[in-house]
Amino acid sequence: MLDFHKNHKLLVGTAMFGFFVLSILVALMPAFQIQQTQPLPTMEGFSEEELNGLHIYVQENCMSCHTQQVRNIEMDNSWGKRPSIPSDYYFSKQRQDLWRQSPSLLGSERTGPDLTNAGQRQPGMEWHLLHLYNPRIVVKESIMPSYPWLFELKEESKIKDTDYLVAVPQKFIHASNKKVVASKKALDLVAYLQSLKQAEMPQNPAVGFIPSSKKIEPRNNGGDAVLPDGEKLYMNNCAACHQAEGGGLAGAFPSLIGSPIINDENPETLIRIILEGYDARPEFGVMPGFQETLSDEEVAAIANHERSNWGNTAGAVTLDEVKEIRSFVNSLKQ
Q: Report how far residue 272's alpha carbon sits from residue 269's, in angstroms, rounded to the nearest whole number.
A: 5
Task: Determine the pLDDT at residue 186.
Answer: 96
Q: What is the mean pLDDT of residues 234-246?
A: 83
Task: Determine the pLDDT at residue 214.
Answer: 54
For residue 164, tell me if it sits in a domain: yes
Whether 62 and 185 map to the same domain: the answer is yes
Residue predicted with more confidence, 132 or 94: 132
| pLDDT tens figures, 71-92 | 988 888 888 888 998 889 888 8
CATH code, domain carrying 181:
1.10.760.10
Task: Decide: 294 and 270 in contact? Cβ < 8 Å.
Answer: no
Task: Tell me which range, 95-109, 115-129, 284-298, is most confidently predicted by mean pLDDT.
Answer: 115-129
For residue 303, tell me if it sits in a domain: yes
For residue 181, tell me if it sits in a domain: yes
Q: Report how far residue 127's alpha carbon sits from residue 104's, in angstroms, rounded to the nearest whole number.
A: 26
For residue 159, tell me if it sits in a domain: yes
Write down the mean pLDDT value for the chain.
85
Q: Is the dihedral of CA 268, 274, 280, 283 positive or negative?
A: positive
Q: Is the dihedral of CA 90, 189, 245, 299 positive or negative?
A: negative
Q: Is the dihedral of CA 237, 238, 239, 245 positive or negative?
A: negative
Whether 135 and 54 map to the same domain: the answer is yes
Whether 61 and 141 map to the same domain: the answer is yes
Q: What's the first-to-final CA gap in the chain, in angstroms?
A: 82
| pLDDT tens figures, 7-30 | 888 888 999 999 999 999 998 888
Q: Report how far residue 208's alpha carbon sits from residue 225's, in angstroms, rounded to the nearest whole number.
A: 27
For residue 38, tell me if it sits in a domain: no
Please work out, in degrees rounded to the nearest 5, the angle formed at the alpha carbon of residue 91 by the alpha carbons of 90 and 96.
Answer: 125
Task: Determine the pLDDT at residue 94.
Answer: 74
- Going by pLDDT thresholds of 50, 70 and 90, the confidence category of residue 228 is confident
Number of domains within the chain:
2
The answer, yes or no, to whether residue 222 has pLDDT greater than 60, is: no
Whether 61 and 191 map to the same domain: the answer is yes
The answer, yes or no, to whether residue 215 has pLDDT greater than 60, is: no
| pLDDT tens figures, 161-198 | 899 988 888 888 877 788 899 999 999 999 999 999 99
For residue 206, tell me if it sits in a domain: no
Residue predicted with more confidence, 306 or 205: 306
| pLDDT tens figures, 265-303 | 999 999 999 988 887 676 677 788 888 888 899 999 999
- The range of the structural domain enclosing residue 257 comes to 230-333
Least confident span in 176-190, 244-258, 307-321: 244-258
Q: Report how far residue 56's alpha carbon sits from residue 36's, in angstroms, rounded to the nearest whole number.
A: 28
For residue 204, tell me if it sits in a domain: no
- Give the domain-ending residue among 151, 176, 195: 195
For residue 280, tell me if it sits in a domain: yes
Whether 82 and 181 map to the same domain: the answer is yes
Whether 92 and 189 map to the same domain: the answer is yes
Q: Report how far residue 258's alpha carbon sits from residue 230's, in angstroms, rounded to the nearest whole number.
A: 19
For 295, the 3-state DSSP assignment is coil
